[in-house]
Amino acid sequence: MAIRRLIASGSFEPEQSAAMISAYDAACTVLRLTDIDDPLTELIATAIVEVASTGERDPILLAGKALVALGLREPPG
């Protein structure tokens, strides 16, 4: 799982890691990605870590903001 590799290479608190993993799972579900070797999963994981670095901890918001950052979703509003 791409997100676990990125989390392992950083220094994150357990709560942060759990939120990022949940966000990653949610984003992959929304995009119907089941192949963990799909290159898109790496992009999603990277975007989630980048969004989390801004202080966001809500998994749903993390996933949504990451998808917007990647251009895979329209921004809200």
pLDDT digits (tens, 9 = 90+) for 57-66: 999 999 999 9
Q: Is the pLDDT of residue 53 over 80?
A: yes
Structurally, the chain folds into a number of domains equal to 1
pLDDT score, position 76: 85
- Confirm whether 57 is domain-assigned: yes
CA of residue 31 relative to chain centroid, distance: 12
- Confirm whether 76 is domain-assigned: no
Domain that holds residue 26: 2-69
Q: Is the pLDDT of residue 2 over 90?
A: no
Q: At what angle do helices 14-30 and 39-52 cross, to 10 degrees?
A: 140
- Confirm whether 10 is domain-assigned: yes
DSSP state of 6: H
Q: Cα–Cα distance between 59 and 18 in angstroms, integer?
A: 9
- Confirm whether 38 is domain-assigned: yes
DSSP three-state, residue 33 = coil
- Confirm whether 42 is domain-assigned: yes
Q: Cα–Cα distance between 37 and 28 in angstroms, integer?
A: 12
Q: Cα–Cα distance between 38 and 57 in angstroms, integer?
A: 25
Q: What is the pLDDT of residues 12-49, one digit of tens each?
A: 899 999 999 999 999 999 999 999 889 999 999 999 99
Q: Cα–Cα distance between 39 and 65 in angstroms, integer?
A: 19
- Confirm whether 74 is domain-assigned: no
pTM score, whole prediction: 0.92
- Confirm whether 75 is domain-assigned: no
